[in-house]
Every structure is written in C-alpha cells, then in structure tokens.
Amino acid sequence: MVLVVAHDPAWAAGFAKEAAAIHAALEAEAIELHHIGSTSVPGLVAKPILDLLGEVADLAAVDAAAAQFEALGYEAMGELGIPGRRYFRKMDGAGQRSHHLHVFERGSAHVARHLAFRDYLRAHPAVAADYGALKRQ
C-alpha cells in the first residue's frame, strides 16, 4: 500500500532546509536544486517524500562527493535505471524514505521534463486536482 496524504505546506520549508544542507555540505561543488514531484505542487496530495532535482556541470563531481551525501544521510544508488542520473535516497528516523535526490548534468532533457511537469501542474490547478484524484485511487 502506498501512503498518499493531503498537501502539507511545511514541505516547501523542508525542501529549503534540505537544499541549504546540501549546499553547505558540497561547499565548492556547484549544484542548483529544485523542488519537484507532488510535494512541490500546492494543494496536491502526495506521498510524504520530498523530491529534489539537482543540476550540475559534471556528474563526476557528484560521484566524487559521495561521502558528503552519505554524511547527510543519503544512500547513493547510482543511475538506478536512468542513464545520466545520479539517484540518492534518504530515510527518516523510523526507517521510512523521506527524500529522493535526482542529479543530472545541466541541459539534460530529464531536468526539462521534471520541471515542465511540475510547472504545468502548478499553473493548472484543475489538472492537478484530477491527478490527485487518480493518485488517491
């Protein structure tokens, strides 16, 4: 069973907090972070897992920073089925997934796809409501 809950306005602050921690941990590594997924769309029901999308100049730098991600509680999962991606997951104190981090090189079509989907749902509340109803089913 997949847990889907009502939108929590605290998710935006949770993203900001996590993005600040990642930026601080990576120091010299330049990463642009975006809040994506259902938790990034106001009013949309979602699994209570924050999705972050990172854009970097070079995935090799992400691979080299694995220890910094691990220090933040992330588990490096490699591409995990999507070429050109680095995927990380994080668990909360109860052992439940709390964060997903998807990192791609700047210019990736995957970045454009994720941001376009998020932005479309944000701009079209009726479509987001229909999507939420489907998710509840």
pLDDT band at 30 (very low <50, low <70, confident <90, very high): confident
| Integer Cα distance of 97 and 91 in angstroms | 4
Q: Give, in order, the Cα–Cα distances in Å from 48 to each of 37, 96, 98.
A: 10, 10, 7
Instruction: Write down the pTM of the prediction.
Output: 0.93
Amino acid at 125: P
Whether the predicted pLDDT of 27 surpasses 90: no
10-18+31-122 CATH:
3.30.460.10
- Contact (CB, 8 A) for 49 and 101: no
Q: Quick: pLDDT tens for 51-108.
A: 999 999 999 999 999 999 999 999 999 999 999 999 999 999 999 999 999 999 999 9
